[in-house]
């Protein structure tokens, strides 16, 4: 934002006395009096327009960050990390430095005039708890349902004398004749049946039985079964028995209804047993193969309803359910194939059609998927179209049905967690793994600041009667209803108003000056927090905040940590706010640690850390750190506890103990939240608020890390922030923890020496930026690691080397 410069810094400004002398020398005596009057009026107008509130143009130009009476600093508009107490040139680009007033607000806050808010066209939206619907667009292609394909094959060897279906695309019904085949084998089998029937008939007429009949063997039934296995229908077999004469031809019928999609033989061709003649597809149900991007996979579930549209039938929707999600990702397209079963009774969906598909999953807390239509339902694990209200078996395959919740769904009636916290997707400024949002602070009640200041003055004067009177007036003011802002602002103010009112009432009833001062101290401590959470009346204030985002769901992002329900986040103009914060050299999206002194919060006095690992603090060490950094001893002890937890996490990450590291991150989050920072004031408080926010985000990411890489990334960020904590508060780092040494033999030591030399060779190659030598050194290092033999060493040594060897092999792989 633009800032008004001090008039004395402008080269065109002429002092009033010199101006009058120059004018009187150039004008005749008659005009001198008039000139003096005009000049004086002009100077007065010029001087008045330079004052705050003088001219509207200057008011808007100066409507950036408001000042708090601190000395003006000078910075470069292109390099805001450059800070100077006086004007000059930027040492990087040579541009003139511009003045910027240091703000007494927080490290990421900026206060604007209402005119500036209008010019920047800022817009805000509330942080909400709601189930959001995510829309996943996909494209794909219609295909045949493989489970509904039928094949007409030759069950006997022979010659195709006639094909009744002589082209593809013909619609056939089950039982339609398809081919007429000549077969010698079939002729012999028919003769066997006829002879068996004749023999059985003679025995019945003569009333005799043979040996086979007495042994239970039915020759007629055996002949019938042989013909059935050769592909004849029961009707055809009955016709042969009735005709009492074998035929050397047989008709092949369609086993299923559908469309003939393949004709593989021609009339006159000989076929062997098993040769495929036709392929029939049942198109009453088709498959649709869709491509789902890997970023959408968290929302894709088996059994989800899919809406499908085609170019052929605009405006008409087809619906199906996801039946299969391919477990392998296509590395060329970075997509996963998703198969959808779609009913197609009308036959409008043709195999080969391109389609557009959408899934509309409802997202619950933690990124879980909610489908109200499947709440309390039972579904087939093989055929998602089979859904029942009660347990049972699948009507198609007979498999037992399973609960929909077992397939990754959450039911609205059984979900014990509240809806997820979400913000519009335009709110966060995302750079890599960081997300910055700007929160509009609610305004304080009118008159509160004056009432508190008057109360402070009365208490400081030591006048018990006046102090009690001001306390009573403050209590009456706090009892007024708060009518500003959102329901969140009202609930937040109610929480502070109750505590402030209780302290004010205690002050109004004070019988001694000491009781009055104690009541005022409670009010003063509370007002420090109130001034952080609320903006002055009529002065819109925005606070930058780094948060932990979850996945994006449609037009919203899920928030894992960093915001509260009801807070207002900036959705338009947030880049402009970030630019203003950056110019003030405060932490912003582009400069996470700020520039220069961090917008008035310079590097705090204290001892810089000499490393990350130092001795266990406590007792006298805490007192020394507290004295050096100017923070209370109880707070210094909490800082040492944070350091100890950090070292515990570091050891767990180093050993590859992921679960222990996650537990350490969870304990760290609790330690940061419980740190007694209420007594901090000024810069230490602002610095702690900044670092606590960053370290808490690291703790959340580490606590919820799913992979070893995520855990390492969270620890790397935490390490950087702990260093800043040590430097900011002058806390002495903990000493290096005791290392348990294991005795080994000379031969094993020599093997480790060879390994060390291979490592040094790799180090030199990397330092020389020699890629070829580095690859050779890596190969040598890998060989050295694999050749180390610890079998003759102690059990502790073998276990230790096995752990280190696994880590080394992973690094050189």
**376 pLDDT exceeds 80?**
no
Q: What is the DSSP letter of 65?
A: S
- Contact, 542 vs 110, CB < 8 A? yes
Q: What is the mean pLDDT of residues 303-313?
A: 94
**38 pLDDT exceeds 70?**
no
CB-based burial, 760-776: b 16+ in 10 Å, e otherwise: ebbeebeeeeeeeebee
The pLDDT, as a whole number, for residue 81 is 66
**42 pLDDT exceeds 50?**
no
User: How many Å apart are CA 674 and CA 76, to the nearest integer?
Assistant: 40
Which of 24-38, 315-329, 402-416 has the weakest average pLDDT?
A: 24-38
User: How many Å apart are CA 182 and CA 156, to the nearest integer?
Assistant: 9
**612 pLDDT exceeds 80?**
no
> Which is higher by pLDDT, 72 or 274?
274
User: How many Å apart are CA 358 and CA 761, to the nearest integer?
Assistant: 56
Residue 261: in which H helix or E strand, if any? strand 258-263
| Half-sphere exposure at residue 697, Cβ-oriented, CA atoms within 13 angstroms | 23
The pLDDT, as a whole number, for residue 24 is 42
- Residue range 620-729 in CATH 1.10.3470: no
SS3 308: strand
Say what the pTM is.
0.65
Taking phi over 0 as left and psi of -120 to 50 as alpha, with beta for the rest, 338 belongs to beta
Measure CA 188 to chain center: 73
Give the confidence band of 740 by pLDDT, cuts at 50, 70, 90. Answer: low
Q: What is the mean pLDDT of residues 779-804?
A: 85
Give the confidence band of 101 by pLDDT, cuts at 50, 70, 90. Answer: low
**258 pLDDT exceeds 50?**
yes
Q: What is the mean pLDDT of residues 531-535?
A: 92
Task: Write the pLDDT tens digit of every residue in 183-218.
Answer: 888 888 888 888 888 888 887 777 665 545 554 467
Which of 391-395, 548-552, 765-769 has the weakest average pLDDT?
A: 765-769
Domain ranges across the chain: 136-144+283-410, 148-281, 620-729, 746-812
Task: Write the pLDDT tens digit of every residue in 650-666.
Answer: 999 988 899 999 999 99
> Which is higher by pLDDT, 25 or 130?
130
The pair of three-digit structure tokens given for residue 383, joined into one six-digit string: 């055929």
Give the confidence band of 15 by pLDDT, cuts at 50, 70, 90. Answer: very low
Q: What is the CATH number of domain 148-281?
A: 2.40.50.100
- Contact, 53 vs 66, CB < 8 A? no
The pair of three-digit structure tokens given for residue 175, joined into one six-digit string: 């039982």
Average pLDDT, the chain: 81
Task: Write the pLDDT tens digit of every residue in 556-600.
Answer: 999 999 999 999 999 999 999 998 888 877 888 877 877 644 334
User: How many Å apart are CA 31 and CA 42, to the nearest integer?
Assistant: 16
Identify the architecture of domain 136-144+283-410 in CATH: Beta Barrel (2.40)
**613 pLDDT exceeds 50?**
no
Strand order in the sheet with 409-410: 132-133, 362-363, 369-370, 409-410
């Amino acid at each position: 934002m633009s800032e008004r410069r001090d008039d004395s810094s402008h080269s065109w400004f002429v002092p009033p006395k010199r101006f009058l002398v120059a004018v009187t020398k150039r004008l005749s005596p008659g005009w001198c009096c008039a000139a003096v009057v005009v000049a004086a009026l002009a100077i007065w107008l010029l001087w008045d327009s330079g004052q705050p509130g003088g001219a509207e143009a200057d008011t808007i130009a100066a409507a950036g960050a408001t000042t708090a009476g601190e000395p003006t600093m000078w910075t470069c508009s292109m390099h805001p990390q450059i800070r100077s107490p006086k004007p000059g040139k930027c040492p990087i680009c040579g541009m003139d430095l511009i003045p910027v007033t240091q703000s007494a607000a927080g490290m990421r806050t900026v206060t604007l005039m209402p005119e500036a808010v209008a010019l920047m066209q800022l817009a805000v939206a509330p942080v909400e708890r709601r189930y959001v619907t995510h829309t996943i667009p996909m494209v794909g292609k219609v295909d045949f349902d493989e489970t509904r394909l039928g094949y007409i094959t030759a069950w006997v060897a022979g010659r195709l004398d006639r094909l009744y279906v002589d082209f593809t695309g013909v619609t056939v019904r089950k039982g339609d004749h398809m081919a007429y085949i000549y077969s010698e084998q079939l002729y012999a089998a028919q003769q066997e049946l006829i002879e068996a029937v004749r023999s059985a008939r003679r025995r019945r007429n003569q009333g005799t039985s043979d040996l086979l009949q007495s042994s239970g063997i039915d020759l007629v039934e055996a002949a019938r079964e042989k013909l059935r296995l050769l592909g004849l229908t029961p009707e055809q077999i009955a016709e042969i028995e009735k005709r009492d004469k074998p035929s050397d031809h047989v008709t092949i019928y369609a086993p299923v209804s559908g469309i003939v999609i393949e004709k593989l033989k021609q009339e006159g061709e000989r076929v062997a047993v098993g040769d495929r003649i036709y392929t029939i597809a049942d198109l009453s149900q088709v498959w649709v193969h869709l491509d789902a991007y890997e970023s959408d996979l968290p929302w894709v579930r088996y059994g989800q309803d899919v809406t499908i549209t085609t170019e052929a039938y605009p405006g008409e929707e087809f619906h199906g359910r996801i039946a299969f999600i391919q477990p392998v990702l296509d590395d060329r397209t970075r997509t996963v194939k998703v198969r959808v079963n779609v009913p197609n009774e009308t036959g409008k969906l043709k195999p080969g059609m391109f389609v557009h598909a959408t899934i509309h999953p409802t997202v619950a807390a933690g990124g879980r998927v909610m489908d109200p239509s499947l709440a309390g339902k039972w579904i087939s694990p093989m055929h998602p179209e089979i859904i029942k209200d009660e347990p049972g078996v699948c009507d198609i395959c007979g498999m037992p049905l399973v609960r929909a919740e077992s397939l990754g769904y959450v039911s609205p009636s059984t979900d014990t967690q509240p809806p997820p916290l979400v913000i519009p997707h335009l709110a966060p400024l995302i750079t890599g793994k960081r997300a910055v949002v700007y929160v509009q602070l609610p305004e304080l009640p009118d008159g509160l600041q004056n009432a508190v200041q008057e109360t402070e003055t009365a208490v400081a004067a030591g006048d018990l009667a006046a102090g009690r009177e001001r306390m009573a007036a403050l209590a009456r003011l706090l009892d007024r209803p708060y009518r500003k802002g959102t329901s969140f602002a009202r609930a937040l103010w109610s929480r502070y108003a109750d505590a402030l009112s209780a302290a004010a009432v205690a002050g109004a009833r004070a019988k001694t000056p000491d009781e009055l001062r104690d009541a005022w101290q409670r009010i003063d401590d509370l007002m420090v927090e109130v001034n952080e959470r609320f903006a002055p009346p009529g002065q819109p204030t925005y606070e930058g905040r780094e948060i932990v985002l979850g996945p994006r769901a449609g037009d919203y992002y899920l928030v894992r940590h960093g915001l509260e329900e009801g807070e207002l986040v900036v959705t338009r103009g947030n880049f402009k706010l970030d630019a203003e914060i950056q110019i003030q050299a405060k932490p912003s999206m582009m400069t996470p640690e700020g520039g220069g002194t961090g917008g008035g919060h310079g590097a705090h006095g204290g001892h810089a850390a000499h490393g990350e690992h130092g001795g266990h603090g406590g007792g006298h060490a805490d007192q020394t750190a507290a004295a050096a950094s100017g923070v209370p001893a109880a707070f210094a002890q909490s800082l040492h506890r944070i350091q100890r937890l950090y070292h515990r996490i570091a050891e767990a990450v180093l050993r590859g103990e992921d679960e222990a590291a996650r537990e350490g991150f969870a304990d760290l989050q609790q330690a940061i939240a419980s740190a007694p920072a209420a007594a901090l004031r000024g810069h230490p408080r602002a610095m702690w608020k900044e670092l606590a926010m960053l370290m808490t985000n690291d703790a959340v990411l580490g606590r919820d890390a799913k992979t070893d890489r995520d855990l390492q990334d969270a620890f790397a960020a935490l390490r950087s922030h702990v260093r800043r904590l040590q430097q900011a508060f002058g806390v002495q780092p903990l000493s290096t923890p005791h290392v348990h040494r294991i005795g080994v033999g000379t031969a094993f030591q020599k093997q480790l020496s060879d390994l060390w030399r291979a490592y040094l060779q790799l180090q030199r190659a990397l330092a020389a930026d020699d890629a070829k030598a580095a690859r050779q050194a890596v190969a040598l290092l890998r060989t050295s690691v694999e050749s180390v033999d610890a079998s003759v060493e102690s059990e502790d040594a073998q276990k230790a080397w096995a752990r280190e060897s696994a880590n080394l092999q992973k690094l050189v792989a």
